[in-house]
Amino acid sequence: MANGSHAHAAHHPMLQHHFDTLEQQQNASLLGMWMFLVTEVLFFGGLFMAYILYRWLYNASFHEASHELNVWLGLFNTAVLIGSSLTMALAVRASKTGEKSQLVLFLILTLVLGGIFLGVKVVEYAEKFTHHLVPGEHFAFHDAALKDGAQIYFSLYFAMTGLHATHMILGGLVLLPIIVMAQRGWFSPEWYTPIELFGLYWHFVDIVWIFLFPLLYLM
């Protein structure tokens, strides 16, 4: 609730004109980010819906096709992404306690781990191209009877992991300026909204992968 009587204290430089208090502004930003994540849940939700239906319709094909993925690379990437969630949580913590050097360090670690994840993803994608597992005219599957289902499996694989990777790339692009801001000391325990919001986004991307890993790699 807006608080009209707040003659106290000087205006924080990050307080925008249309808010009364910094707290009101932070509540609005936090709620806005959560609303955005709700739309993200449903955005990915459409693909998960398709996955559920087709896994039910083409169970055998999905099983067979999932063996084409490298579980160890998937496991490695899961560990990397969970690790980046940890560094992100530590970064948010550092921004709350005002430890600037730690904040910068953990943000850079998050970016590096995200980069490693995407690097592994590139290796995996390249493998699919050489093995003709990319849906389309050149798609080939060793068991002709299971080909349709396998093609749908790989359509979903590329759409889901591709959309996930797109979110990671966009996240990385947003993280770069945030690291610069952190380095220049823009954030304080009073105001660290971008760190907090970015953290929420990054954890969400992690959650998507937490579901993608067992659904795509482990069958």
Shortest Å, Cβ 47 to another protein:
6
Specify the stretch interacting with another protein by CB under 8 A; choose among 7-15, 112-120, 152-160, 178-186.
152-160
93-102: Cβ within 8 A, 24+ apart: 95/182, 95/187, 95/189, 95/192, 95/195, 95/196, 96/189, 96/192, 97/189, 98/188, 98/189, 100/182, 100/185, 100/187
What phi and psi, each to the nearest 5 degrees, are found at residue 189? -55, -20
DSSP 3-state assignment of 134? coil
Residues 180-209 that bind another protein (CB under 8 A): 196, 199-200, 203-204, 206-207
Size of the site for another protein (CB under 8 A): 80
CB-wise, 79 or 123, nearer to another protein?
79
Position among 80, 104, 111, 152 found at the interface with another protein (CB under 8 A): 152
* Contact status: 170 vs another protein (CB under 8 A): no
Of 66 and 111, nearer to another protein (C-beta) is 66
